[in-house]
Structures are given as C-alpha cells and as structure tokens.
Chains A and B, each alone.
Chain A
Amino acid sequence: MTVNDGSVLGAVQIYGSAPRNRAFNIVLLAEGFTAAQQQEFNTAADTFVSQLVKTAPFDDFTAVINAFRVNITSTDSGADDPLTTDGGLGTTADTYFDASFGLGGVQRIMSFDTTRALQVAAAQVPEFTAALVVVNSTIYGGSGGMAGIYSLALGSSDIGMHEMGHSVFGLGDEYSCHDCDAKEHNNVHSGDEPHQPNLTVNRDRNTLKWGWAVEAATAIPTMQNPDCTTIDFRPSTVPAGTVGLFEGADFYHCNAFRPEFDCKMRNNGIDWCRVCRQVIRDRLFSLTTLVAQGRTPLSVVARDGNHLDVFAVASDSRTVSDRWDIPNGWSGWSQLSGGATFPGGAGSPVTSISRAADQIDAFTVGGDGHIWTARYSTFSGWSVWFQIGTVTARAGSTVTPVARTSEHLDLFTTDLDGRVMWTSSGPGRDFSEWSHLSGGTAAAGATVTAVCRFPGHLDAFTIGVEGNVWGAWWGEASGWSNWSEVGHLAARPDSTVTVVARGTTIDLFTTAVDGRIMTTTWSDSAGWTPDWFHLGGFASPGSPVTAIARNPSHIDLFVVGQDRRIFSTWWDVGGTWADWFNVSGGNAVAGSQIAASARFPERLDIFVVGGDSQVYTAGWDPANGWSRWWAVGVT
C-alpha cells in the first residue's frame, strides 16, 4: 500500500441524529472499492446498519446510535489474495488499507493496516465508538481488533458484530479452543477469575456475576464437560435461553464457564445471550436519559465531598444509579447488578447508605417481595444482590438503613401485614432474621424511619394504623421499648415521618391529613414539644418532607407542593422558619419526593423526578445561591 493506492472522499452520516459527543457512533470504512464502486460500498454500509439496529439490544437504543460511512477510493477492487492453496487465488490488489486474505496461511483470516484505519476513522469522526472496515470481496473472511474487518461474503458481517462485542463492550470469548488448528488444546482453566462480564470460574450461585439472571430451579453448574481433553460437542440439556453455568469458555474445555449454551461470543450467526445483551444495554443505557418511575423516592449518598451516588427506579422497575465525582463528572445511568424492584403500587425505592468513604450499601424490595442488598466498594465495584432474611415485604415498601457505626447496620421495613420489621448486622455478623419490632403495625403505605443520635441508641418512627405518629427507641442494654404516640396528630396514613438528629435533639416532619406540613422536636432536657406545629406549607398528596441538617444549628426542608412546584424553607437555631420559596422554578411529579445531600456543610445538592419523568438536580452554596435545574445523565 502506498498513499497513491487511493484517497479518502469523506464521511456521511447514514443513521441517527443523536449528539455525537454522547452517542454510540459506528464508522464503516470502505476498502477495495474503486471510485466507480462507491455506490456498492454505500449499499453495504446501509445493509450492515439496518441489520444492527434491528438486533437486540441495539433495537432498544436507536435514539443514541449514529452510523457513518467513510467513502474511500482504492486503486484496485477487492483485496490481496496471496495464497495459492486453501482456495486462494494468488492475486494482489492495490487498496487503501492494504487488506489481504490469508494471514498466517489461513485463507479466511484478513489482515490490514489497522493503525491507518483507526487514524482515518478518528480524523473523519473523532467521536467514533467502533470502526469496521468493509472489504469489497465476495470471498469469506475477516478478523478483529479495535477495528474489525469483514468482506461482502454472506455471514461475514457477523464478524464485525462479534468484534464489537470485544472492543466496545468488553465481552470475552465463550468458545473453548485456542489454536486448535495447531493441535494446542487448553484443557483446564487455571482458576483465575476472568475480568470479562460473561466469563467466570466461579461456581457459587450466591456470588455468580450473572446470578441475577439465573432462575432458582436452574442447576449450577448447568452443563459440565465430561472430557476435559476436548470440546464438549453435546447439545444443550436445558431449553434455549436458560441462563446458568455452562462449562467451556475463555479458550478452555473445563473450569471456565459461560452464561448460556450458545451466544454470538461463542458462535457466529447466533444472537447475543441474555447476559451479553445486558452488558451491551448497560453501555448504551449510560448514554441515555433515565425515564424514572414517577413517584419512586430517589436516594442520594455522598461517600465524601468528591462523590455522589444517586439511586432511582426506572419506569420498567430496574434499579439504577448514576455516579458523580471529581474530576469525571456524571458517569451515566447504569443498572445496579441486574436488580429490579417490586413492581406493585408506586414501587419500592432503592435506599442507600455510606458507612465509609470507600463503601456504599444499597437496599430494595425485590420482585419476589424479599429484601435485597448490594454493596459497592471502590476496590471491587458493585457486588451481586443478596437476600436479607426471609421476610416478605408489603408491595412498595421502603427499606430504611441506619448505621450505628461503620460496622453496625440496622434495617427497618414493613411486611405483608404492615408489621414493622427490623434486623441488624455487626462486626463479623451477617444480618439476623427479621423480627417484629415491639408489636408495631404501620398504616398502609407508611414507611418506617429511624435515626441514631448517639452510639448504642436508635429511634424509630412510623404512622400507625389509626393515622397517628408513633415512636420507639432501642438501647444497647434495654433493647426495644414499646411504641408510644408522639404528640397527637391526624397524619395522612401514607406519610413518612422524616427524622433529623442534631446532636441528641430530634426533629420530626410529616404531613397532616389535609397536607399541612407539621413538625415537632425532642430534646433530652424537655422531651417532646407540647404538640405538632404547622410550618405553613402544604405538601402534594403522598409527598414526604425531606429534611437535612447541614450542621447542628441549621435545617433545610424540601417538599413538592400541591401545585407540583418544589418548595424549600430553612431554620437556624434561635430564629424562626423562613418563608417557603420555589427552588429555581422547579416542579416535580405530584406525590414524589426530593432527595437531598450535603457533601459539605455549605453545599446542598437536591434531586427530583420532573414532570417528564427525568431526574433533575439543582445545587446551592452560599456564594452562588441556588443553581438552575439540570437533567442527570452523563457528563
């Protein structure tokens, strides 16, 4: 190849209209097409793209897919075909990327100037995600790498799909042969856990990477190779589409497993398996904006001043999160370890807590009604979801976590009968079985909230079945107290009793039956204030009051008003509550909740589900006041 073997004519967008800087941009490069044959390349590019956008899961993400063809002329048509055996023709062609069949003496392996292909793709479409070289030949062939190459022969374009699985989505090879033509068989995998999301050596259902997709009735392992000296050619013993643990993957016959019997990462011409589809979905999903469940409470946690993690539930019940940090900004929405919440009612939220700067615990009620948790560490990323105990929660229940210390977690929720349930974990001790907290029963739709004012003490609150606010406390020596009514308030039955601790002082906020926003306070010296006090505002039905104490002398409140506008007020020690004001013109879904975080004492970040079901954020600091609202997505 020389520079005289052709020229780049330019790029043409042939599919999509997504902003290039946040899209899956695929570039198809012409190779071996003469100036007179450019229309044939155009047709080939169109054919590939039309196939791609009909292929699951790409068909669900067409809004973030752009496709470009780069027309390039070559002096000659086709590609080098140097072999005179194995079907080769022993011919040469002067082409732009110097493509050739017969690499390593194997006719169908194609070589080309990959560096040049990447440079051309980067020059023509700097934002490209994947590049494929299309060779003007009907001889079957192709190969992979960061830029894949395939010919026009029937089935060759599948090579491009498979190679994108590697280079763009990080999928591993699910076949069990490496250099088999050279009689080199890899019999038993070393046991080092592969980093690819679709390969494993782990046989433990509880910690399996794709455990979220495995049905309880599916055997683990699902198929094992009876002869580790060869490929297992037996047909599947389970119905197609069964996700389990199938031996033979990562170039090894044994001790390496794949999620399904077959997949595009194992055989060309096959669709991607469910796990690989999910990996691809996660990548493309991060480029989209989230469509959230309208009334599902958001959760936000700040591991430290430089990190925020927001948790939500998508409109299809998937549990999702987005992460912000310095210096990378928002990472984009991604599904949390394959989880899905209980689909009933308004849906259960994902709640979260950070007990240490490198750790987050997330909780939700699963599709089976059980309580599930996943844990994030900066070292290992997100774990799979683990079931906590055997309690079956009421549809739409919230799991409220409280950290007494970095090693003690207490969880609260309501079971099918509305009973207030509690469990705890401690150093070296997993969660105990759920227990009924002092015989308490919550009103339908009411949550249980709790706070730790000082080590060795917990206070829990809920709305009782008669619509009054009740509290109970726990001491390390005494255990749980009986429930007692807090003042006398006719609260909306589905209210949340929001609790904030300022030192040993407790402030409670909730809504009365008519939507009035009410508060009361406990101090160790004076006990509860005589009765509940109306703060002046009204909440939309179902909207809880969000309260945050940036420091012991200051409280900020947020609520969705009856006109769906987002309101805030604040209070300083020694002063009175400020008038309610609308935050930056924002409005939210009626009945929804506002999540708030104070990364620093002088910094607030709040999050809401807007009227268009997207998640929005606004921030406050003393120098700039409230910012405008921004959609949370990817920076």
Chain B
Amino acid sequence: MNSINENPAGDAVRLIFTYQHGRVDLISQQRVDMVVSGVDVAHAGQSGDFLEVRDADGAALSRVPIYAGLNSSVEVFPEKADDPIIRRRMPEVKRAYTMVVPARTGAENVAVISIPPTPPGRMGRSGNPAAQFAGRPRAAVTELAAFRLDRSELRSGR
C-alpha cells in the first residue's frame, strides 16, 4: 500500500484473551471491520501493557495499549457518594480482555508485552523540548505471550 488514499477497511482483528497469575491465554481472534485510530497506537517509549503487532521477522508494526492494564485487582465502589473508591487485589479472579489491533499487510503475529514506567530522574525537566528526549533509555520489554494471527480468518469474507 503506497497510496495514502487506499482504504483497507476490515484489516483489523479483535482478540479476546484471559490473564491470571501472569499467564495469558488466547480465547479467540476475529476479523473485524473497524478503525484503530492513532490515539490508540502507542509511541515507542510509552510504558504500560500492550498488544504488539509484528511482521514475519518479528519487527514491531504497531503497539496498541491495553488501557485497563494486566492486573488482578478489582475496584470497590462506595454506595455513598462521599466515600472513596478503593481497589483490592484479588489474584483468584481471572481477568478477560478484548483488544482490536490493526492487522494489515505484513502482520503475522501479536505479542502481549509489558514495559515498565520511565525511571525517576529520566523525565525532561528543562524548558527546552529537546531535553525531554535526550538520553532516554530504551525501556526493557517483557513478553508475556505471543499468538500467530490466523490468516485464514483474516482472509475470509473478503
């Protein structure tokens, strides 16, 4: 795809997976005709949990943040408006997630990855915008799971 005017609608995949005790299990993948907009694609230095779409050589094509985060905690909402919300750890709860990732030309695999936050003292503190980017380390990436995109599913219905 070299023309900016082509519109490859439908080249996205919805994944449903579960997470518990650090283990990720893929439940299903489904081709879906919907956009994955730019605000849902992370930049290279962003921390958090992501689905990373990769080509056949393992190169990252895009990262979509798992906004809710991979965790085993549950929020407790107060019945009375003035009481605070709190969050409780419940490792016995298996969490389920769904994410839609772009899966256009060259997309072969999806990995679930985690990137730790920016270490203290690494943030830009200067009024010079260049200082925000200078000397930032590449954060370590932890791969929790990887799935092969089901190309037959991707091709069906075209």
Set A142, A177, A330: member contacting B84, Cβ < 8 A: A177
B69 and chain A: residue at smallest CB distance: A166
* Bound complex: CA A80 to CA B123 (Å): 48
Min CB–CB distance B50 → chain A (angstroms):
10
Tell whether A386 pairs with B27 under 8 Å between CB atoms, given A103-B90, A380-B45, A619-B4: no
Tell whether A328 pairs with B77 under 8 Å between CB atoms, given A267-B85, A617-B4: no
Asked if B144 CB lies within 8 Å of chain A CBs, one says: no
Q: Are A127 and B88 in contact (CB under 8 A)?
A: no
On chain B, the residues within 8 Å of A286 by CB distance are 37-39
Min CB–CB distance B107 → chain A (angstroms):
7
Tell whether A386 pairs with B128 under 8 Å between CB atoms, given A109-B76, A142-B77: yes
A143 and chain B: residue at smallest CB distance: B74
Min CB–CB distance A477 → chain B (angstroms):
26
Asked if A204 CB lies within 8 Å of chain B CBs, one says: yes
Interface flags, B38-57, vs A, CB<8A=1, else 0:
11110111111000000000
On chain B, the residues within 8 Å of A357 by CB distance are none
Min CB–CB distance A353 → chain B (angstroms):
14
Interface flags, A587-623, vs B, CB<8A=1, else 0:
0000000000000000101000000000001110100
Q: A residues 292-336 with Cβ under 8 Å of B?
A: 308, 322-324, 326-332, 334
Q: Are B37 and A331 in contact (CB under 8 A)?
A: yes
Q: Are B120 and A378 in contact (CB under 8 A)?
A: no
Dominant secondary structure at the B interface:
loop
Among A22, A114, A131, A627, which residue has the most Cβ atoms of chain B within 10 A? Answer: A114
Is the interface on chain A under 10, 10 to 19, 20 to 34, or 35 or more residues? 35 or more
Set A111, A175, A329: member contacting B1, Cβ < 8 A: A329
Q: Are B27 and A119 in contact (CB under 8 A)?
A: yes
Tell whether A269 pairs with B81 under 8 Å between CB atoms, given A122-B98, A193-B117: yes
Set B16, B35, B43: member contacting A122, Cβ < 8 A: B16
B103 and chain A: residue at smallest CB distance: A327
B106 and chain A: residue at smallest CB distance: A327
Q: Are B39 and A282 in contact (CB under 8 A)?
A: yes
* Bound complex: CA A127 to CA B10 (Å): 10
Q: Are A118 and B98 in contact (CB under 8 A)?
A: yes
On chain B, the residues within 8 Å of A621 by CB distance are 3
Tell whether A378 pairs with B43 under 8 Å between CB atoms, given A111-B93, A146-B98, A286-B38: yes
* Bound complex: CA A231 to CA B86 (Å): 12
Asked if A536 CB lies within 8 Å of chain B CBs, one says: no
Interface flags, B54-79, vs A, CB<8A=1, else 0:
00000001100101110001111111
Asked if A179 CB lies within 8 Å of chain B CBs, one says: yes
Interface flags, B11-27, vs A, CB<8A=1, else 0:
00010101000000001
On chain B, the residues within 8 Å of A634 by CB distance are 35, 37-38
* Bound complex: CA A530 to CA B9 (Å): 54
Q: How many residues of B contact A (CB 8 A)?
A: 83
Q: B residues 88-134 with Cβ under 8 Å of A?
A: 88-90, 93-98, 102, 104-107, 116-121, 123-130, 132-133
Q: A residues 94-120 with Cβ under 8 Å of B?
A: 103-104, 106, 108-109, 111, 114-115, 117-119
Asked if A464 CB lies within 8 Å of chain B CBs, one says: no
Among B30, B82, B120, which residue has the most Cβ atoms of chain A within 10 A? Answer: B120
Q: Are B30 and A193 in contact (CB under 8 A)?
A: no
Q: Are A195 and B117 in contact (CB under 8 A)?
A: yes
Q: Are B96 and A635 in contact (CB under 8 A)?
A: no
On chain A, the residues within 8 Å of B82 by CB distance are 267
Asked if A54 CB lies within 8 Å of chain B CBs, one says: no
Q: Are B133 and A630 in contact (CB under 8 A)?
A: no
Q: Are A326 and B88 in contact (CB under 8 A)?
A: no
Q: Are A122 and B90 in contact (CB under 8 A)?
A: no
Min CB–CB distance A583 → chain B (angstroms):
14
On chain B, the residues within 8 Å of A103 by CB distance are 74, 90, 93
On chain B, the residues within 8 Å of A379 by CB distance are 43-45, 133, 136, 138
Set A140, A175, A194, A324: member contacting B4, Cβ < 8 A: A324
Set A144, A192, A201: member contacting B116, Cβ < 8 A: A192
Tell whether A181 pairs with B45 under 8 Å between CB atoms, given A118-B96, A334-B39: no
Q: Are A155 and B68 in contact (CB under 8 A)?
A: no
Min CB–CB distance B108 → chain A (angstroms):
12
On chain B, the residues within 8 Å of A603 by CB distance are 2
* Bound complex: CA A628 to CA B3 (Å): 12
* Bound complex: CA A384 to CA B129 (Å): 8
* Bound complex: CA A231 to CA B76 (Å): 16
Tell whether A155 pairs with B133 under 8 Å between CB atoms, given A207-B124, A327-B105, A328-B102: no
On chain B, the residues within 8 Å of A393 by CB distance are none
Asked if A178 CB lies within 8 Å of chain B CBs, one says: yes
Min CB–CB distance A246 → chain B (angstroms):
14
Q: Are B37 and A162 in contact (CB under 8 A)?
A: no
On chain B, the residues within 8 Å of A108 by CB distance are 76-79
* Bound complex: CA A191 to CA B120 (Å): 5
Q: Are A178 and B86 in contact (CB under 8 A)?
A: yes
Asked if A373 CB lies within 8 Å of chain B CBs, one says: yes
Q: Are A106 and B76 in contact (CB under 8 A)?
A: yes
Asked if B34 CB lies within 8 Å of chain A CBs, one says: yes
Q: Are B81 and A155 in contact (CB under 8 A)?
A: yes
* Bound complex: CA A173 to CA B69 (Å): 12
Q: Are A331 and B38 in contact (CB under 8 A)?
A: yes
Tell whether A144 pairs with B68 under 8 Å between CB atoms, given A104-B88, A192-B120, A327-B104: yes
On chain A, the residues within 8 Å of B102 by CB distance are 327-328
Q: Are B67 and A169 in contact (CB under 8 A)?
A: yes
Q: Are A119 and B4 in contact (CB under 8 A)?
A: no
Interface flags, A624-635, vs B, CB<8A=1, else 0:
000110100011
A166 and chain B: residue at smallest CB distance: B68
Q: Are A170 and B67 in contact (CB under 8 A)?
A: yes
Asked if A438 CB lies within 8 Å of chain B CBs, one says: no
Q: Are A327 and B61 in contact (CB under 8 A)?
A: yes
* Bound complex: CA A375 to CA B1 (Å): 28
Min CB–CB distance A248 → chain B (angstroms):
10
On chain B, the residues within 8 Å of A153 by CB distance are 79
Q: Are A202 and B123 in contact (CB under 8 A)?
A: yes
Tell whether A377 pairs with B85 under 8 Å between CB atoms, given A327-B104, A331-B41: no
Tell whether A179 pairs with B9 under 8 Å between CB atoms, given A111-B93, A170-B67, A330-B4: no
* Bound complex: CA A269 to CA B77 (Å): 11
* Bound complex: CA A193 to CA B127 (Å): 18
Min CB–CB distance B9 → chain A (angstroms):
6
* Bound complex: CA A158 to CA B105 (Å): 41
On chain B, the residues within 8 Å of A163 by CB distance are 75
User: Can you list 6 pairs linking A and B with CB atoms under 8 Å apart?
Assistant: A106-B88, A162-B75, A192-B116, A207-B125, A323-B38, A331-B37
Pairs of residues from A and B, 4 with the lowest C-beta to C-beta distance, nearest first:
A331-B38, A192-B117, A191-B120, A286-B37
Q: A192-B117, A204-B123 are in contact. List 11 more A-B contacts (CB 8 A).
A: A103-B93, A115-B94, A127-B32, A159-B77, A166-B67, A167-B68, A175-B87, A207-B125, A207-B126, A251-B87, A373-B129
